[in-house]
Chains A and B, each alone.
Chain A
């Protein structure tokens, strides 16, 4: 059973090329939710969709990602200036890594040896060697860097700057900015298309998504969003994740309280699903049938049935939920 699941996971990883660099955990059957004001992760049973417990962690936990060992969840904490390493099976903190001042988000090198961390206070992308727990390089970028994404082959790291309205393209080996790509106002998160040829950038105040060609490093298209009955200024795209078949991008629209299903090929919004207040980060379960949405201003997580494009349950979690990661 487990081996078949792993085979399937390996196969889907192959099919999607390197689009899904995020490692999955050890099938705990749980979803983990970081909440900015809780200093703890909420644990949701993915089958019953009920909160079954919490894992105490560092202060103001935000971005989370599994290490390649698939059992350790790395959680960046803005107010503790570090990441906690959490054994999700044991549900406890087993170590930590200092990440510099006010770390917001990070991504890992494909071999899992380095973390690329956006440090809001410094205006820098710090490269942290996980084994030695040392910052080995610090690259100055625009102020308030946020979303970080490593290219599938590890040769580039993309990071957004909310103040400079840019995506910085960084060569992590040389420790240099290769190019600055101007995008919309207040760029937040990054997601690759299935073949890795496109990098989608959510522009929170631009109410849009910029699509960057990873070959030319230029913006090839900008997708604007509209929601009936919502003020244009309430449409603030942030979290994004690609459907398992690579055909749909899910874009959370922040204060507009909806998630947009965007057809990757035509760039058209095919569905708008009503979720909680300030829909922030989004995550899929393994087979891609359910989308979990962290709602920052209603302190809950909305679970969306992807096929029906409909919310099926809202689960109260901690205060100011930031991100969900599903390990089913």
Chain B
């Protein structure tokens, strides 16, 4: 039912947009959008909490904003854009829907799915898939696929961005606090690797638990969790968000909190002031009726990439994938520099924004960080590591 309504709305939007100036020889570009049905992350009560780094609304809204802002070029080129938006309930349905979208002529498909669903669905099709919501690093490494691109920054990119920022401030002694979920454990390992990479010093890693039980206060009380050790900064890993949100100013030493509380490394912040960002933020706010998050930015830039490839006339069947990774293919993401897809893991290289939710305090890569070819490649898996074997 929900799926039907969504699809209908998207078609209608495409129709209205397309009719504005329909040229005589219009060609149609179909963009597939595949998200998860009954997305818990988008439960209204959860969205209301507005945890930084969590999605603020459906992927489709960012797709629509991108199409709408490109309408002038699309009309001029005689390109009619159709959005086919569907939702899957599980991994196997996701694979089926991907195949269906491919058969019905989608030039590319934007995804907001869990990592396992992507890993299972991507090999089922050949059409380019743009992951706009999943940070899992294995999708960029062992489970990478030749047709799978990523606009959402990987977990490691975000950890590298924070580690660089701490290194540039010389806040090198890090106390790690991590949550109870499997996700938290995986992300802890990623953070520890970034800490090592940028020469920071982990002083301790302590597990926390949300609890009011006095018998568990060693795990739940921020003062106790951060006592008996000296550090420059507390790095909290909390995929859920509730514990980390109230951690700053409640620790035993007067030190900053970073990670999933305090200072975050994100793909986007709605209050970013540089590089024409306020215009994009305002367009999104007007189009979607809510502030633009990092997930929205990833969906927006994924759609812009598809539209640009189509406008470049690169979308011949044989060249579909190459279009995104060819050397001249660069995008304007309103982050000050030209963005492009890495050839080795097809991740969109991009600066990340360091924000406390009120303002953007720094950008990564940090000033002074060097790289032999592109400094953006200091965030995430670099070519020599050879993490993704499929080209």
Contacts and interface: CB of A to CB of B under 8 A. Distances in A.
Contacts of B330: 185, 205
A188 to B, nearest CB: 10
A165 B330 CA distance: 12
B72 A140 contact: yes
Nearest to A161: B72
Please name the 5 residue pairs, one residue from A and one from B, whose CB atoms are nearest each other, closest first. Answer: A233-B337, A142-B72, A143-B69, A164-B73, A180-B76
A142 B72 CA distance: 5
Given A164-B73, A185-B330, A233-B337, A144 B375 contact: no
B73 A142 contact: yes
A86 B220 CA distance: 63
Interface in B46-77: 69-70, 72-73, 76
Given A140-B72, A231-B375, A121 B282 contact: yes
A148 B336 CA distance: 22
B338 interface: yes
A307 B279 CA distance: 39
Contacts of A120: 279
Contacts of B73: 142, 164-166
A149 interface: no
17 contacts: A121-B279, A121-B282, A123-B69, A140-B72, A143-B72, A144-B279, A161-B72, A162-B276, A164-B70, A164-B76, A165-B73, A166-B76, A186-B276, A231-B375, A233-B336, A233-B338, A255-B336
A163 interface: yes
B43 interface: no
A121 B332 CA distance: 18
Interface in B330-346: 330, 332, 336-338
Contacts, number: 44
A186 B332 contact: yes
A251 to B, nearest CB: 18
Contacts of B338: 185, 205, 233
Nearest to A186: B332
A201 to B, nearest CB: 16
B49 to A, nearest CB: 30
Interface string A144-159: 1000000000000000
Contact size range, A: 20 to 34
A205 B72 contact: no
Contacts of B337: 205, 233
A180 B73 CA distance: 9
Contacts of A140: 72
A163 B282 CA distance: 14
A141 interface: yes
A186 B334 CA distance: 10
A33 B72 CA distance: 34
B72 A123 contact: yes
Nearest to A168: B72
Contacts of B72: 123, 140-143, 161, 164, 166
Interface in A92-150: 120-121, 123, 140-144
Given A142-B72, A143-B72, A161-B72, A185 B375 contact: no
Nearest to A185: B332
B377 to A, nearest CB: 12
Nearest to A142: B72
A163 B69 CA distance: 8
A180 B72 CA distance: 10
A162 B277 CA distance: 12
A185 B333 CA distance: 11
A48 B332 CA distance: 42
B245 interface: no
A233 B335 CA distance: 11
A322 B332 CA distance: 22
